[in-house]
Structure 1
Amino acid sequence: MYYAHSTNRADKRDWQGLAEHLQAVAKLAESFGHRLGIGEAARLAGLLHDLGKYNPAFQDYIAGRGNSVDHSTAGAAIACQRAAGGSKIVAEIVAYTIAGHHAGLPDMTGKALSTLTERLNAFAGASLDPAWESELAVNAANLLPAFQWETTDRPRCAFQLALLGRMIFSCLVDADFKDTERFYGRIEGRSFDRQWPQLEDILPGLLDRYDAHMSRFGSPAGELNMLRADVLSHARSRAREAPGLYTLTVPTGGGKTLASLGFALDHARAYGHSRIIFAIPFTSIIDQTAAIFREVLGDEVVLEHHSSIDDEDKSPDRRAGRDKLKLAMEDWAAPLVVTTNVQLFESLFAARTSRARKLHNIANSVIILDEAQTLPRPLLLPVVWMLEALARDYGCTIVLCTATQPALDRHNFPAGHPAGLPLEGKELAPDPEDLARRLKRVTLRHAGPLSDAALIDELADAPQALVIVNSRKHALQLYRAAEAAGLAGIVHLTTRQYAADRRRILADVRQRLKSGAPCRLIATSLVEAGVDLDFPCGWRAEAGLDQIAQAAGRVNREGQRPVDQSIVTIFQAPDNPPPSEIKDLTGDMQRMMHRHPDLFTPAAMADFFGEVYWRVGKEGLDRGRLDGEPILQKFRLSGSRTDFSYRSAAENFRMIESGMLPVIVPGDEQAREAVRQLEIDQIPSGALARKLQTYIVQVPPKARGLLIRNGKVAFAAQGIRQDQFAVLLDGTLYDKTVGLLWEDADYLSFEQFMI
């Protein structure tokens, strides 16, 4: 008798049989994959993933005798050996997923440790008991997915196959987790994971709630409310059009969040989508958006997921049995998910099990990319290819929702350029040019160079004002200088603060603005994309036109003040020049701004992004500057064989701020209680990460390493979870007004710090 999972019983009476586990995972993975058209491949992955446990040495290991044994390579090797004909290349992709179901998807070749090629070459089939042949019905004859292949473009075909691998991998690791959970849950009488309702089952009720919420506003009175009603009506009227790629271009204040939700609900009803995913650029507006959706649809259907806590442990030997349950992160099975661009796209390019688990639940979703102009240009090509593949192959409808569309329509690019999307005729808003004209709220003023002292002098005459600068360092300097100058109502907002504190600060700012109290907010760009604020005036350090337009959206948002008195001042900061990327964007704006009397129209924005894409390509928009790592080149076809570098690509795919590492700040009793629960093995990491995600500050990797070495930060739990949750121990380093000052822990020399 061969076993998959053991318990404390020496007589093995309640151990899980290996064939039982493999067949259950295969069946569940097939059910996940069936919805994606990849059921047979997912079934094969599930059936073979733990084949190496038919090794007597592994059975000794789970019985407490001997050392750990590689049990992932055997199934990968058998998958490759058993397939033939057209299924052979898919079987090879299945091999990646089986080999990586504990340690993460591997590279086929290269310098990375434990490549798939090395593992397959080292596989010794004699170590397997032939009993597996009679216990498992392995069929690798018909693995081709049910969608159209890219037959004329080999780079796109390689990308398509690589995404197929990630989707199979997701079906496998989620099925493996769920069956393991069921086994231990039955033994221990508990459940590890939250159970969510299916969207299709509750959609009629959600639409009733949505319509009831919108009806509370009554007949629209006033130009702004009539305009919002027109946007909503027009977007919902397009909901029965075919799934695919869409845009929703609505200036700030035009009601695009609720309009996009209405479209998503109607579209899901028309085409049977499994869930709705809202991806947002900054955690600063996750709370705001999730709160709106909870108010409209109810708390029980909304998952808010922006935690950057992940499994940082590189040792696959420590991820088996109960351990995989402790480490498991969100599977995105909720009907409505509110997340960040970082979570969405880094999951789609992930190699680790903890992040990739959710991918099969992204398929067949309505995905709203809020503030789509923030998509990182250095990664634009892989992002665009991913969006197109999700829509083409995996049943997704994707809405690029923003006030400042990044001109991704193919007609904005040279013929045949790989960065363009088929967006012609896909606009959901009634008339973007007319909306921009009717929703004009501010007047731009170009001030030229403005020192901090001069800026503070101007702020002295503006009791309520917003200032946005380009770095945390400059924001902190300016905040302290304004405090020293004795200005009333100075408020600081930065990613140095954890999300729960930022939420409190924004609530205080809104109350000050409403009551007329002094309120001078000094912030970084995190405040400009979608944060619901309405200042009389603002200052923005020089940046690209898209950022300036977003900053302007926080001034006279409700249109209650005269446009000519609602001034947004653009200035240069001589002592804090912008980083090179932003400096280049200001040059792009300079080259086109004389051509447009109103810089906030869609035509001006398209002209600006045309300048951006012309510059980053230099010679016809070459791929290198839009796929800067590069990512796409890590997926190649060599004849009928794959040469995929999943692990290397995942390491290189890093969006804005995502190179940072999380530190948990236990700033109140709720956070401290969650930290205490980290020592309880029975609580899975995903549940704890959900509680702690609003208490995270992102820190540069070297700074976090320094904090750990100096005893200011420590990993809170031992055992399997010991590398997951880094917690701040020294509360003096965190100030609620300015956030985490990790520099204050620098007791080492600069040379030591750089080691």
Structure 2
Amino acid sequence: MVGEIRYAHSGSAADRSDWQPLSEHLAQVAQLAAARGAPLGLATAASIAGRFHDLGKYDPAFDRVLRGERGPIVDHSTAGGRVLCDQANPRMKPVAEVLAYAILGHHAGLPDKSTADNACLDRRIERDAAPLDPAWQAHLPVEIEAAGQEIQKLLRMSAKAGFDLSVAVRMIFSCLVDADFRDTEAFYDRLENRSRNRDWPSLQSLLPEFRKRFQAHMAGLSSDSDINRLRADILSHVRAKAPLPPGLFTLSVPTGGGKTLASLGFALDHAARHGHRRIIYAIPYTSIIDQTAAIFRDVLGAENILEHHSAIETENGGEEGPAKARLAMEDWAAPVVVTTNVQLFESLFAARPSRCRKLHNIAGAVIVLDEAQCLPRKLLLPTLAMIDTLATHYGCTVVLCTATQPAFDSDELQQGGLPLAGRELAPDPKTLAQQLGRVRIVQGGEMDDTALLGALGATAQGVVIVNSRKHALDLYRAGKAQGLEGLVHLTTRQYPAHRRAVIADIKARLAADRPCRLIATSLIEAGVDLDFPRGWRAEAGLDSVIQAAGRVNREGKRPLEASVLTVFSPAEHGAPAEVKNLAKAMWTTAAKFDDLLASEAIRSWFREVYWRVGPDRLGSNMFDDLLFTGTSSRFQFRKVAADYRMIDSPMVPVIVAVEPKAQEEVTKLAVEKVPSGGIARALQPYVVQIPERAREILRANGKGDFHARDLRGDQFFVLGAPSLYHDDFGLWWEEAEYLSADQGIV
């Protein structure tokens, strides 16, 4: 009935006295969205999206949904976008469309512009609409001209305009979904007499203490060797660059030169000088996030660090009611975030509300991309475009931090490189490479496992790095059968907390000069500070080989001649096609240069693998789905999200609850009021990622299952056969269809 109060969310009182009026929800979401959009220059646009996002709840039929009655589905997410498009004059149609993408997507995810699917924007806008209670008109007028002016400032009138506009849509969407989640959560918290502490201190308020703690940490480090004195000089030089204007930087320091602490020192000083809102440190692999997060916790305090990666994802199912409030979605409001490239960049190209909620908090950040050479080639151009847009329009400073700078400069990568000239933070990278030369790389030719184990057995301390978990396990088991003393295995078969214990044991063995023969996968090549006298590396790209070399004589305490990394071709284990191609380019480079660690050799290799392959193999086709003509857009957000996958064969998590802490968190899964997000974060250190098919075999054979499925859905898969997890090499999931829980493996 006309004049009847419309509601956004239901309560429990029969007289509806505790229900949330729709007008109140829309006003509060508009206010929250505007506050999130203000630092981005998108306050008005975000406010309009908030005010119109649930306009479809003015459909009288939605009252039936709130009462919990069965009936036809009520689409409440389309009406606001349709109204804006209908109300806008032709000149403002593109602006209305930008807002419509966000509004239509606030539950199901950003839609594609036009497809054969009825879920696309065009078909939803054109569909016959249900009549709305005329009370919706109280939300007029729309300040669409002002929103258009905001958006216009975030576009470069060039070939980059379409990409820039697509990012503006994502930022408005982020402001909207975060505001909607927060207001809905607050409503149900009040209803259920529940309180949450979601507030983080601002980075700016913490920086004086952070910088003081950083100084104290650095003062406590040893300066009794040439390499430590060189690290201190590098740090001093890098920090002196902090006053430079925000934007893009490179930090090119050879492995062992102290990049992590140097980049943190720069980030703290730079943020203090220029007012950045947070520091985001992105790492290429989940497997190596542990050590970096531990350094940050030690220096800055664990209470100030958010460690977030994709070990366990919390999903937004778009629920109405209390269940929605229980979804503890990450919004990255913490002052310091340690994450992975996958979590950062896949979120920036995502369509789902759960992944996009954090995006508005990326704006205004100092972003350090550790091991920048690991950005995937197949997605390089859209990734660089996103980095460029964040720096150009959203106040971000981005530091490309690596031992083997891949030269993403536009002078070299002319298809879509970055303006990096004159933005190097390190002192003379070429000279640094010479000063930090502590290892020789030699060619070992073809080696089978017997030859490898023979070479490893001839030295009391050494490391063998191979390209797959299977090869590492086969080699380890063969070494155990031979009785090699001090044999250690390090692999992503082990959950992170277990790996931390293994790494601590390795460091203790090395320090005490006890036998330590490590067999590992590439996870130790970035961010794991180990120092062996000898090493062997299965053929791979030159960047990987150089990273492996950084685990040999890392502290420079041994003679150069005795510190050798041997690069070999495995006789019995073939590498993936991508690794083979990179290894081929590495051998081509090795034929031209005597010293593979020389900057000229590294430059030659990157020229081979990046600059000569052409834009098609660097992801340029993705721009075809982010087009803007000036009068209309063609954004295929869902297609882009599906195409932008950093990992070709996604792995899925298995929780290994063999330690009391993990068992305690698993028990909480059955407690309805404990948020999923908090449990997911607590369980991250106890997760092993395995192929999806392998997990299904475990489930089908009673070796594990999803816990508290009625409350959590298919989210928390817990290993049900602890004997399949081994102290020395981790989870054995192969052949689960016939292994019983009490059968041994080795």
The alpha-carbon deviation at position 512 of structure 1 amounts to 1.1
Distance 2:712 2:704 in 1: 16
**Contact preservation (8 Å) 1:19, 1:136:** no
The alpha-carbon deviation at position 638 of structure 1 amounts to 5.3
Matches within 5 A, 1:36-75: 36-67=40-71, 68-75=73-80
Q: Which runs of 5+ in 2 are unaligned?
A: 740-746
The alpha-carbon deviation at position 295 of structure 1 amounts to 1.3
Query: Which residue of the partner structure matches residue 223 of structure 1?
Result: 226
Matches within 5 A, 1:229-378: 229-311=232-314, 316=318, 319-378=319-378
The alpha-carbon deviation at position 603 of structure 1 amounts to 2.5
Query: Which residue of the partner structure matches residue 588 of structure 2?
Result: 591
Deviates more, 1:604-613 or 1:541-550: 604-613
Query: Which residue of the partner structure matches residue 149 of structure 1?
Result: 155
Deviates more, 1:657-666 or 1:343-352: 657-666
Distance 1:542 1:560 in 2: 27
Query: Which residue of the partner structure matches residue 716 of structure 1?
Result: 707
CA RMSD for the aligned pairs? Answer: 1.9
Matches within 5 A, 1:446-485: 446-485=443-482
Distance 1:326 1:555 in 2: 48
The alpha-carbon deviation at position 322 of structure 1 amounts to 2.1
The alpha-carbon deviation at position 85 of structure 1 amounts to 5.1
AA of the residue aligned to 2:734: E
The alpha-carbon deviation at position 268 of structure 1 amounts to 0.6
The counterpart of 1:548, out of the listed 534, 545, 548, is 545
1:237-292 deviation per Cα after TM superposition (whole angstroms, max 9, x unaligned): 11111111100011111111111111101111111100000001122321211111
The alpha-carbon deviation at position 3 of structure 1 amounts to 1.1
AA of the residue aligned to 1:357: R
The counterpart of 2:618, out of the listed 613, 623, 626, is 626
The counterpart of 1:679, out of the listed 665, 670, 680, is 670
Distance 2:623 2:243 in 1: 34
Distance 1:685 1:93 in 2: 32
**Contact preservation (8 Å) 2:185, 2:324:** no
Distance 2:315 2:365 in 1: 29
AA of the residue aligned to 1:379: L
The counterpart of 2:647, out of the listed 650, 656, 660, is 656
Distance 1:111 1:552 in 2: 52
Matches within 5 A, 1:407-446: 407-414=407-414, 417-418=415-416, 420-446=417-443
Distance 1:96 1:443 in 2: 55
**Contact preservation (8 Å) 1:246, 1:400:** yes
Q: Work out whether 1:506 is the aligned partner of 2:511.
A: no
1:469-518 deviation per Cα after TM superposition (whole angstroms, max 9, x unaligned): 01111111111111111111111111122111111111111111111221
Distance 1:500 1:639 in 2: 52
Distance 2:329 2:594 in 1: 50
- Number of residue pairs matched? 732
Distance 2:696 2:551 in 1: 37
**Contact preservation (8 Å) 1:82, 1:140:** no
Structure 2 CA distance for partners of 1:691 and 1:658, relative to 1, 3 Å = farther
Distance 1:123 1:721 in 2: 36
AA of the residue aligned to 1:10: A
Distance 2:630 2:269 in 1: 45
Distance 1:171 1:121 in 2: 26
**Contact preservation (8 Å) 1:307, 1:689:** no
The alpha-carbon deviation at position 82 of structure 1 amounts to 2.3
Deviates more, 1:351-360 or 1:674-683: 674-683
Structure 2 CA distance for partners of 1:135 and 1:428, relative to 1, 3 Å = closer
1:564-584 deviation per Cα after TM superposition (whole angstroms, max 9, x unaligned): 101111100011122111111
1:657-695 deviation per Cα after TM superposition (whole angstroms, max 9, x unaligned): 661122222121211111121222322222111101111
The counterpart of 1:531, out of the listed 528, 531, 539, is 528
Structure 2 CA distance for partners of 1:297 and 1:374, relative to 1, 3 Å = same
Q: Work out whether 1:208 is the aligned partner of 2:200.
A: no
Structure 2 CA distance for partners of 1:373 and 1:246, relative to 1, 3 Å = same
Distance 1:215 1:312 in 2: 44
Distance 2:603 2:224 in 1: 32
Query: Which residue of the partner structure matches residue 753 of structure 1?
Result: none
**Contact preservation (8 Å) 2:485, 2:516:** yes
Q: Work out whether 1:104 is the aligned partner of 2:104.
A: no
The alpha-carbon deviation at position 112 of structure 1 amounts to 4.6
Q: Work out whether 1:83 is the aligned partner of 2:117.
A: no
AA of the residue aligned to 2:209: G
**Contact preservation (8 Å) 2:291, 2:527:** no
Distance 2:13 2:735 in 1: 51
**Contact preservation (8 Å) 1:378, 1:626:** yes
Matches within 5 A, 1:119-134: 119-126=124-131, 128-134=132-138
Q: Work out whether 1:700 is the aligned partner of 2:691.
A: yes
The alpha-carbon deviation at position 89 of structure 1 amounts to 1.2
Question: SS where residue 483 of structure 2 aligns?
Answer: coil
The alpha-carbon deviation at position 627 of structure 1 amounts to 0.8
**Contact preservation (8 Å) 1:279, 1:368:** yes
Query: Which residue of the partner structure matches residue 385 of structure 1?
Result: 385
Distance 2:314 2:216 in 1: 42
Identity %: 54
**Contact preservation (8 Å) 1:192, 1:684:** no
**Contact preservation (8 Å) 1:284, 1:503:** no
Distance 1:396 1:95 in 2: 27
1:590-632 deviation per Cα after TM superposition (whole angstroms, max 9, x unaligned): 32334433211222211110111244x2xxx2x210118x432
Query: Which residue of the partner structure matches residue 94 of structure 1?
Result: 99
Distance 1:229 1:505 in 2: 29
Distance 2:671 2:310 in 1: 20
AA of the residue aligned to 1:351: A
Q: Which runs of 5+ in 1 are unaligned?
A: 749-755
Question: SS where residue 527 of structure 2 aligns?
Answer: coil
Distance 1:560 1:483 in 2: 30
**Contact preservation (8 Å) 1:342, 1:658:** no
Question: SS where residue 76 of structure 2 aligns?
Answer: coil
Distance 1:525 1:114 in 2: 42
Q: Work out whether 1:519 is the aligned partner of 2:506.
A: no
Matches within 5 A, 1:562-573: 562-573=559-570
Distance 2:632 2:311 in 1: 35
Query: Which residue of the partner structure matches residue 730 of structure 1?
Result: 721
Distance 1:54 1:120 in 2: 17
AA of the residue aligned to 1:413: L
The alpha-carbon deviation at position 335 of structure 1 amounts to 0.5
The TM-score, its normalising length taken from structure 1, stands at 0.94
Question: SS where residue 699 of structure 1 aligns?
Answer: strand
**Contact preservation (8 Å) 1:29, 1:39:** yes
The alpha-carbon deviation at position 312 of structure 1 amounts to 5.4
The alpha-carbon deviation at position 191 of structure 1 amounts to 2.9
The counterpart of 1:181, out of the listed 172, 179, 185, is 185
Distance 2:102 2:234 in 1: 44
The alpha-carbon deviation at position 136 of structure 1 amounts to 5.6
The TM-score, its normalising length taken from structure 2, stands at 0.95
Structure 2 CA distance for partners of 1:120 and 1:38, relative to 1, 3 Å = same
Query: Which residue of the partner structure matches residue 752 of structure 1?
Result: none
Distance 1:591 1:84 in 2: 60
**Contact preservation (8 Å) 1:73, 1:123:** no
1:702-735 deviation per Cα after TM superposition (whole angstroms, max 9, x unaligned): 2223333333332212345212222222223222
